[in-house]
A and B are shown apart, each in its own frame.
Chain A
Amino acid sequence: MTTKLQRPRFLDLLKIHMPVGAVASFGHRISGLLLVLSIPFGLYLLDLSLRSPQGFAQVAHWLTGIGAHLLLILLGWLLFHHLLGGIRYLAIDMDWGVARDTARRSAWGVLAGGILLGLLMGLGL
C-alpha cells in the first residue's frame, strides 16, 4: 500500500471512448444534481401559487411563456432521464438486464426515452 501509483492513467475525457452505459451513468449524476438544485425554485413557485390568487396568476403567467416551455422541456429531460435510469438501476440490482447486450440496449433506451418524455412533458404542460 506504500508504493506510489504505478498504473497508467489516461483520463482525457474527450479522448476516452465511453460505452453508452457510462454516458447514461454520467447523465444520471448530472441530471440528479441539477434536479436537486432546482428544488428551491420549485418550492418558491409552489409557495407563491398557493399564497394568493395574485400569486397563482403570476406563476401561471410565468409558466406560459416560450422560455418557460424550453425550461420545462429541459426539466422534463433531466427528470425522465433520471427516472428511467433509476428504473434501470433497480432492475440491475435485481439481476435483470445485467448482461452486456441487454445493459447497452437499456442504456440507449434511457437516453432516448428521457429525451422523448422530456419533450412530451415540456410541450404538454
Chain B
Amino acid sequence: MSLRRASGLRAWVVQRVSAVYLLLFTPLLVGKFLFYPPPDHTAWVQWVSNRWVAIGLLLFFVALLMHAWVGVRDILIDYVHPLGARVLLLTLLAFGLLGCGFWALDIVLHAGAH
C-alpha cells in the first residue's frame, strides 16, 4: 500500500514538474517559428546546434517524454482493464517513448554533422 501510494505521488510530481518546463518552453518554441522562422538550412542548423538551444531542446524532450509516459499511463490504467492488454500497451508505450528519446538525442547532438 505504501509503495503504491509512493509511486502515485512520484508520478503526480513528475507530471507537474515536467508540465512547468513544457509550459515555459513550448510557447517559446512556437513563438520562435511564428516570429523568427529559420530562413534557410544553415541558419536552422546553427540555431539548433547553439549550446543553450541544444540543452533547452534536450531538456524539453526529457520533460515531454516523461510527461507523455505518466499521462498515457494514467489513461491506459483508467480505460484498459484486461491485464494482458494493459501490460502490452504499456510496454509498447515505454519502448516507443524510449525510442523517440534516443532519436531526439541523436537529432539534437548531430545537428549539422551529416
Contact = CB atoms under 8 A, between A and B. Distances in A.
A50 B44 contact: yes
What are the 8 closest A-B residue pairs judged by CB atoms, nearest first? A56-B41, A53-B41, A36-B68, A50-B111, A32-B71, A124-B34, A47-B107, A86-B19
Contact of B114 (A32, A33, A51, A83): A51
Interface stretch (A1-9, A10-18, A38-46, A103-111): A38-46
Interface of B: 16, 19-20, 22-23, 26-27, 30, 33-34, 37, 40-42, 44-45, 48, 64-65, 68, 71-72, 75, 96, 100, 103-104, 107, 111-112, 114
Contact of A47 (B42, B103, B112): B103
A112 B101 CA distance: 33
B1 to A, nearest CB: 15
B23 A36 contact: no
Interface string A33-74: 101100110010011011111011100000000000000000
Given A36-B72, A50-B112, A90-B16, A56 B34 contact: no
B19 A43 contact: no
Interface residues of A, number: 28
Contacts of B65: 39
Given A40-B100, A46-B107, A52-B41, A33 B26 contact: no
A33 B103 contact: no
Contacts of B96: 40
Contacts of A33: 71-72, 75
Contacts of A79: 26, 30
A53 B43 CA distance: 11
A90 B19 contact: yes
Contacts of B104: 43, 46
Contacts of A36: 68, 71-72
A98 interface: no
A86 B23 contact: yes
